[in-house]
């Protein structure tokens, strides 16, 4: 780290990269970056070139002496890295289309990080993450891994607990959005309020206190169904049941809608599905438009349009985290890290998403204490589901994958669960080497995805 | 206990009473009963007279000097009782019809002890059980309470943990049916096999070992979808997913079908609902037929037809339990009792259903140890749901009732959950004094059950 | 709090009061104190007058508009208080002499907050604290209680867990001394190092990290036996076993010497005891000298000599804590607070001493995670001993007091334990109303303290 | 197992072997033994021959067709064994003399299975046990290991948790002696009482209930200090503090005297030590006398004199356990087995000593539930000490060995602890290959046992 930092971004061709560059540029005065390596795979080469060129223009406009490298060779990039950020999507948006459409074609919620789709995103990502960690052990054994590849909590648990890479912090933009949007609702500024988050990634709650230590969670709950309310753009904003939330006296995250308003969320997704407009399909259009902007060689900064993506603030959170580590700030942030008892009803070595102090030694979670019955039941069940997902992903075990499905509240239990499991395995075959034999057996029985859009993707070899 | 036992049965007018009498007659040589008091309420007086007369004829046929008393005055009956059994149903079968039809009318599983209906059965039963315990503290402070009023686990947890009556054991016929039916499937006798059950009432698993200590759970799982397979008569026998069960290597109870085959079970229930033939409605016919038999003054024994009811063996299990306590047998039985760590992922003071030794000092559970992720997640969530149910029932708290609904996997989450909650509150108003104010508010908003059959019952004041 | 703070100090006649005044004066620019009430009992009236006059002179010298009140009427003082600090010593130094000399007269460690003496300090303090809490519930229900009456952890657990006063934080100067003294040993400044403490009051460990997040605990351990090393003045500085500490890789607190070097510490105490110079007796001289200084009406500031007392920095920590609460600083401090899972091997509702963020809502502990076997065993045993102490103190239960003795590693088990227990009960009779009947029985058997000094104190009615 | 059982006894030259033979002979009608292999090491060859010849005569006198084999080749014996019992003593009685005399020479309790001596017995035994398990994995992978080598709980934990051999049950005669001796004290027979044990090997408590389920623990406690009271012969019977025990309402085991009466037990041991008569030295005489008896070729049965040894009933318990496994008896016995939550304050995978049902599938512990503070603190600390002992024994780690010493209540903390640790390492060098380098370093510093008797043993190469 002596002469300046080397930062490596796996999945560097992502449309979010300009936000990451902006974040680093804004912090350059205290975060002396020297080299940025944007890494991507062959299928992402074109996007890497476009966004990489914009990244270079952005830095050039600053006069800061930072080199931006673009490469398809991960090992070259990782050599002596100080920080590695991961924001890749195995199978690109086409895989997300399958994660959404296959469950929906059987009447279940299809979603990128929740339900059957989220489980399969983990199945595809974990084998790749394993290779990345092996490379890091070899090439940059002291580097920090800042993960924001989804499902962020599950991936972080796999990296730390299964692969043994302790210098890993998982990030998400959802808490950040809440802390940006909510204060104004009760006439406060962010610095006037004290936030405490606890739970799992995409399944956490928070409490808020004012300057005098009074709990203002109830006041914020009165605004929970206001529009523009702190929920990421990608989530349909059905109305939360206020009686329930007031009894809990906790603010939910936007993703709780899938669980607490399952019926409405499913109906909305089915409507989109029938219109050929699931979220992935919408995002594809947004991305195409973004890359059209990025191609403009006169563009030297992050375009405003990027904020419309669900992942806004993601990269900003990542830069803030890198900064807090590098400068030993002991700054409160909401991250996925080792529980250490902070949520006492979950295993001490589980990964949880909690308010933590971020410093040079990593994340120190603040202890939350005991959850009440209702929240405890949900968290314990969701964590068990995550554990099954990870075990199935590593072992390529069909029965354990079924267990993950069986526990997941967004999967309908019954014969249809197995159908969806089988179709997803077949549809994602290319990215699931650990399930190769199982998929061969399923295909031998003639199982094939029934959704036409998915069939078309498969026909094109995507 | 000196001169012989006094046994009191609350809900004595139940159609199961002849089985209870038969069980006591068969054990008379080691269980010296002196007095049996059958207690019921005014609405059950006619049934009490019919079944009470049969009970008297049954004992008369034996020459044993046992007095059978019939009464509507619970306090007279409880005075100096040695054993009290509870098998009452608050609101009779009409309440069960509501528990089934209201959820089904909104597309959710309606069931007596699971889902929304099970939660409401607890809401109705707990206030009555509170009065019984108060009477027992006053009149028979050393008596054992043998509960088989459903939901048996929840009621037992309330009696022991909330009302402080430690001498209580909860019973269920489901494990007994498994142990009677399964051995033959693998060419064994019951005494050749060693059974271990663990979980919650109506949500437990078991493992089985042969004489050499080998685990034969897998062999039994091959027969899990055989018909006549150890599932109570009241549960539709959809096929279990075998891959899932083999991964778990645990035998489920019949009630797991509602959770693991939710879609099929719901469809079947909806079909029955549309035909005006939910389980409660079927049971009404069976009961009427049984009472016709009971009226026959030439009948001096339990008629075979009783075994067709879902509750077969219930009373036999109760007699066996009373016998094991009285004679200090240290006999293995499957009962609902204080966890004491036997299922280490659940609270030590929770009530669980586990293989236990029954002796004069009560139930001693055998330690099961750690559950794997999948089973742990289910159990922890279900126990949390039970805790919310009990808290709501005792406090009459709407928000906590909503929490119980929200956690319950058979309740569809969304606005419909609140609809079903409200309709059930209104429909059961007569038996829910703890929710009186809340129900008044709901009614003021014009909420009224939409199902025609339920409307008819309410019109008749039932 | 609107027009300025009202701070009440119970035990205001303590020699530490000038340090408290200095701390408040130094923070006046951000901590707008309006009234300070120094409360003491009749026996402490003279000291209260002397130190109270000095306090008034100190504030007068500042020109700040702060009123200092002296009173023996606790209720008048507590009315509408914002912060209450407790620094009283039931039975004064004479009681401490008994806590030290009686165990030593039987060959056991006699110490103020550890061993048999510490248990009896809790026995005397808890009944008084109960009255204070009752007064506070009545007169200042929103006040914060900042406790530094020893044994601070036990008293804080009693106040929060038994008496239900949640707005309580327990303080100790021991961690502060470590953080002041240690950094220079490895050529650092305090702000360069990041400290993490976890354990129980007077039984905690810490780890230290540098700016780059590297663990420098090992480097500090190399200096653990340096003199002037961060151990309070009152503790004899026998050499720690370095092999043991390096295996633990944790820095002990000074009080660990009593446990890890029991033999040497006992020998040193016996030497002092024989010389008629136990710590309490030394402190009496120091105190007399301090009060001689305080009497000097020309003195307007805290005299340097106060720092020689073992409790140096105590009051400074208290002021810092009040400041962090009042100004919502979310500042890391080491305090006794509710565990909330931060030390996962201890009960979630136990009081532990851990690095926490202090803000308007109180203390938020940082999660430490799992302890290794050795430290876990010690902590669990010590916490159990504390629980027995509290239970015995509240119930006045002899058997449970014996359990506390039996678990305490500084009490010799055998008939001698009972002798010391009995003598201490008799010696402290005046302050142990909850044990009145038991003490009467013991006295009836002729039990009387064997130590001459103690006998003299009792003869004088002290 | 088809044609009859092969039983292998490691340490077959033990003086207890005749009791084992008697036990097997008495159970022959239901336990069809075919071959018994008595295995010993070269140093034990003479004793093996003597006791082996007696064993042969005992079987010959029965006419049962059982072959008794004597061998120094463990692998030949283990081939296809059904049950392996371990009753060996690494270093023979000479090692025990060191375990007793070295601590005593420094004023600490010296004892075979407790304190410093017990820790070293584990250090010597664990490497040998590792080899035995490796042989068993190779030669008899389905055999049951019935361990009664001390410290039995620690060895059983090592075998199951560290070496992964799950088919292991640890035994001890202490609970058996209580159940034989106690009932008569309150005018009962053993079959009238129901015993529940829980704790750790040589550190367990029990409760007793009568036929009506009433707790009679208190009645038995009134006789706790009767002589001939259920304490093994090897333990000096100082009087327990009755007030303490009545508060606990638990019956202690005899070994609790070392902890609860440490001062008296230490004094008694020091007296014996000074007289050159520590327990090991007494046992040597008893053993010599026994072997003189065994040599008598006219002897065909277990001589009465054997019962005077502290280990009486040990072998009987072992035979009963083998019988319960072979005949799938589901019989209650007190054994060391995997906790599985039965003592909820200890790790679920720890080995505990609890009442369990013994059947073909092994031990099923009965759940005990939550311990009160006092007992919980003791147990947690002792278990942590055991964990340190095991870790140190496996890794040969000096610091962790020191941690075990530091936690052990019978080791005096201070510089003397290190002295005793070092002397014991040097004295047992021959049997501690895992500590070879460490011992070399210690010796290089000139450390040498100070006790003359130990010096003599070392001079003779023992």
DSSP string, C115-152: HHHHHHHHHHHHHHHHHHHHHHHHH-TT-EEEE--SSH
For residues D366 and D354, is the Cβ–Cβ distance under 8 A?
yes
Residue B221 lies in a domain: no
- Judge whether residue C1 has pLDDT over 60: no
Contacts of B178 (CB under 8 A, 6+ apart): B195, B206, B230, B251, B253
Angstrom distance (rounded) from CA A325 to CA D185: 69
Segment D64-73 shows an average pLDDT of 97
Per DSSP, chain D holds a count of helices (H) and strands (E) of 18, 12
Say yes or no: B295 and B153 in one domain. yes
- Tens of pLDDT along C13-47? 999 999 999 999 999 999 999 999 999 999 999 99
Residue C437 lies in a domain: yes
- Judge whether residue B135 has pLDDT over 90: yes
Write out the residue range of the structural domain in which residue C428 sits. Answer: 396-459
Angstrom distance (rounded) from CA A389 to CA A387: 5
Q: How many CB atoms lie within 10 A of CB B118?
A: 27
Given A28, A64, A195, A255, which residue is catalytic? Answer: A255
Q: Which of B273-287, C216-230, D27-41 has the highest mean pLDDT?
A: D27-41
Angstrom distance (rounded) from CA C260 to CA C250: 14
Chains that touch A (3 or more CB pairs under 8 A): B, C
Interstrand relation of C33-39 and C5-10 (parallel, antiparallel or unpaired): parallel
SS (HEC) of B275-303? CCCCHHHHHHHHHHHHHHHHHCCCCCCCC
Give me C445's structure tokens.
């058997």
| Domains of chain B: total | 2
The domain boundary, picked from D253, D273, D308, lies at D308
Contacts of C257 (CB under 8 A, 6+ apart): C231, C235, C236, C237, C238, C240, C264, C265
For residues C281 and D432, is the Cβ–Cβ distance under 8 A?
no
Q: How many angstroms from the chain centroid is the CA of residue C4? A: 28
Q: What is the pLDDT of residue B382?
A: 98
The alpha carbon of residue C383 is apart from the nearest alpha carbon of chain D, in Å, by 7
- In a mutational test of the D interface, the residue from B329, B347, B367, B376 whose CB has the highest number of chain D CBs within 10 Å is B367
Segment A56-63 shows an average pLDDT of 96
For residues A109 and A115, is the Cβ–Cβ distance under 8 A?
yes
Please report the DSSP string for A437-453 in residue order.
HHHHHHHHTT-----HH
Residue A49 lies in a domain: yes
Q: In percent, how much of chain C has pLDDT > 70? A: 99
Give me A196's structure tokens.
């405490």
- Judge whether residue C311 has pLDDT over 80: no
Q: How many CB atoms lie within 10 A of CB C117?
A: 30
SS3 D216: coil
Residue of A nearest to B392 (CA): A247
- Judge whether residue A407 has pLDDT over 90: yes
| Backbone conformation region of residue A235, classed left if phi is above 0, alpha if psi is from -120 to 50, else beta | beta
Confidence of residue B438 (pLDDT cuts 50, 70, 90): very high
Residue of B nearest to D350 (CA): B369
Put simply, the chain A residues between 334 and 373 with a CB less than 8 A from any chain C CB are 338-344, 348-349, 357, 359-362, 364-370
Angstrom distance (rounded) from CA B389 to CA B400: 7
- Tens of pLDDT along A161-172? 999 999 999 999
- Judge whether residue B223 has pLDDT over 80: yes
- For C190, which DSSP code? G
Please report the DSSP string for C331-355 in residue order.
EEEEEEEE-TTSBTTS-TTSEEEEE
Angstrom distance (rounded) from CA B67 to CA B56: 8
Round the CA-based radius of gyration of chain A to a whole number and report it.
Answer: 21
Contact with chain C for residue D259, Cβ under 8 A: yes
- Higher per-residue confidence, B442 vs C462: B442
- For A356, which DSSP code? E
Say yes or no: B42 and B157 in one domain. yes
Q: How many angstroms from the chain centroid is the CA of residue A72? A: 23
Say yes or no: D16 and D115 in one domain. yes
Residues of B in contact with A387 (CB under 8 A): 373, 377
SS3 B218: helix
Tell me the β-bridge partners of A36.
A7, A68
Q: What is the CATH number of the domain that holds D299?
A: 3.40.50.720
Residue of B nearest to D330 (CA): B194
Say yes or no: B157 and B301 in one domain. yes
Angstrom distance (rounded) from CA A390 to CA A384: 10
Give me D36's structure tokens.
């018994």
Q: What is the pLDDT of residue C231?
A: 75
Angstrom distance (rounded) from CA C409 to CA C115: 7
Q: Is D202 annotated as a binding residue?
A: yes
Handedness of CA B37, B41, B42, B43 (dihedral sign): negative
- Angle value at C-alpha A455, between A450 and A460, nearest 5 degrees: 170
Residues of A in contact with C211 (CB under 8 A): 328, 360
Residue D197 lies in a domain: no
Residue C278 lies in a domain: no
Segment D258-282 shows an average pLDDT of 93
- Tens of pLDDT along A305-354? 887 776 678 888 999 999 999 999 999 999 999 999 999 999 999 999 99
Contacts of C422 (CB under 8 A, 6+ apart): C442, C447
Segment A116-126 shows an average pLDDT of 98
Q: If 0-12 CB within 10 Å is exposed, 13-18 middle and 19+ buried, where does residue C288 land?
A: exposed
Contacts of C395 (CB under 8 A, 6+ apart): C434
- In a mutational test of the D interface, the residue from B5, B197, B323, B341 whose CB has the highest number of chain D CBs within 10 Å is B341
Q: What is the pLDDT of residue C450?
A: 96
Please report the DSSP string for C81-114 in residue order.
-SEEEE---TTHHHHHHHHHHHHHHTTS---SSS
Contact with chain C for residue D441, Cβ under 8 A: no
Say yes or no: B405 and B305 in one domain. no
Of D309, D308, D373, D295, give the one whose Cα is nearest residue D49. Answer: D295
Contact A241 B373 (CB under 8 A): no
Contact B366 D364 (CB under 8 A): yes
Angstrom distance (rounded) from CA B264 to CA B268: 6
Residue A178 lies in a domain: no
- Tens of pLDDT along C137-180? 999 999 999 999 999 999 999 999 999 999 999 999 999 999 99
Contact with chain B for residue A247, Cβ under 8 A: yes
Q: In percent, how much of chain D has pLDDT > 90? A: 89
Angstrom distance (rounded) from CA B169 to CA B175: 15
Q: How many angstroms from the chain centroid is the CA of residue B46? A: 23
Residue D363 lies in a domain: no
| Backbone conformation region of residue D249, classed left if phi is above 0, alpha if psi is from -120 to 50, else beta | left
Q: In what order do the strands lie in the sheet with B5-10?
A: B67-71, B33-39, B5-10, B83-86, B144-147, B168-170, B331-338, B351-359, B362-365
Residues of A in contact with C333 (CB under 8 A): none
Residue C247 lies in a domain: no
For residues A244 and A229, is the Cβ–Cβ distance under 8 A?
no
- Does residue A151 have a cis peptide bond before it, meaning omega lies within 30 degrees of 0? yes
Say yes or no: D300 and D403 in one domain. no
Handedness of CA D250, D255, D261, D262 (dihedral sign): negative
Q: What is the pLDDT of residue C316?
A: 85
Residues of C in contact with A213 (CB under 8 A): 325, 328, 359-362
Q: What is the pLDDT of residue D229?
A: 67
Tell me the β-bridge partners of C364.
C357
Q: What is the pLDDT of residue D49?
A: 97
Question: Quick one: which H or E segment has residue A169?
Answer: strand A168-170
For residues D385 and B406, is the Cβ–Cβ distance under 8 A?
no
Q: What is the pLDDT of residue C310?
A: 63
Q: What is the pLDDT of residue D234?
A: 80
Say yes or no: B296 and B434 in one domain. no
Angstrom distance (rounded) from CA A337 to CA A153: 8
Q: What is the pLDDT of residue B391?
A: 98
Nearest by CB to C367, from A194, A362, A367: name it. Answer: A367
Segment A121-132 shows an average pLDDT of 98
Q: Is C172 annotated as a binding residue?
A: yes
Residue of C nearest to D416 (CA): C263
- For D82, which DSSP code? S
Q: What is the pLDDT of residue C223?
A: 95
Of D146, D161, D170, give the one whose Cα is nearest residue D365. Answer: D170
């Amino acid at each position: 780290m002596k002469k300046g930092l080397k930062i490596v971004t796996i999945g560097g061709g992502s449309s979010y990269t300009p936000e990451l560059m902006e974040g680093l540029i804004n912090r350059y005065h205290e975060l002396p970056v020297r080299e940025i390596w944007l890494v991507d795979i062959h299928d992402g080469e074109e996007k890497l070139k476009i966004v990489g060129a914009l990244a270079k223009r952005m830095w050039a406009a600053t006069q800061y002496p930072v080199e931006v490298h673009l490469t398809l060779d991960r090992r070259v990039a990782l050599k002596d890295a100080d920080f590695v950020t991961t924001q890749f999507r195995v199978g690109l948006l086409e895989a997300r289309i399958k994660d959404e459409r296959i469950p929906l074609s059987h009447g279940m919620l299809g979603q990128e990080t929740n339900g059957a789709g989220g489980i399969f995103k983990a199945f595809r990502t974990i084998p790749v993450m394993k290779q990345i960690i092996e490379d890091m052990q070899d090439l940059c054994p002291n580097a920090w891994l800042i993960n924001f590849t989804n499902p962020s909590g599950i991936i972080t648990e796999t990296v730390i607990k299964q692969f043994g890479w302790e210098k890993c912090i998982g990030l998400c933009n959802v808490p950040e959005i809440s802390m940006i949007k909510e204060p104004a609702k009760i006439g406060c500024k962010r610095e006037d309020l004290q936030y405490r988050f606890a739970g799992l990634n995409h399944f956490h709650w928070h409490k808020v206190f004012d300057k005098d230590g009074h709990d203002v969670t109830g006041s914020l709950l009165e605004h929970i169904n206001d529009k523009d309310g702190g929920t990421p753009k990608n989530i349909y904003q059905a109305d939360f049941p206020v009686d329930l939330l007031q009894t809990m006296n906790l603010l939910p995250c936007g993703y709780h809608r899938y669980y607490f308003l399952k019926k409405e969320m499913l109906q909305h997704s089915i409507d989109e599905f029938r219109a050929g407009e699931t979220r992935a399909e919408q995002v594809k259009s947004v991305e195409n438009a973004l890359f059209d902007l990025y191609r403009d060689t006169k563009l030297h900064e992050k375009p405003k349009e990027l904020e419309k993506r669900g992942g806004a603030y993601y990269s900003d959170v990542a830069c803030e985290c890198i900064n807090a580590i590098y400068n030993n700030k002991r700054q409160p942030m909401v991250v996925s890290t080792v529980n250490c008892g902070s949520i006492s009803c979950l295993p001490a070595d589980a990964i949880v998403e909690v308010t933590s102090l971020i410093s040079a030694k990593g994340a120190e979670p603040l202890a939350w204490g005991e959850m009440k019955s209702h929240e405890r039941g949900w968290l314990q069940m969701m964590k068990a589901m995550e554990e099954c997902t990870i075990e199935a992903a590593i072992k390529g075990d069909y029965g354990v994958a079924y267990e993950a499905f069986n526990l997941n509240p967004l999967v309908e239990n019954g014969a249809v669960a197995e159908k969806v499991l089988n179709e997803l395995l077949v549809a994602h075959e290319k990215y699931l080497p650990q399930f190769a034999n199982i998929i061969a057996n399923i295909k031998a029985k003639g199982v094939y995805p029934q959704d036409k859009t998915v069939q078309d993707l498969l026909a094109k070899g995507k």
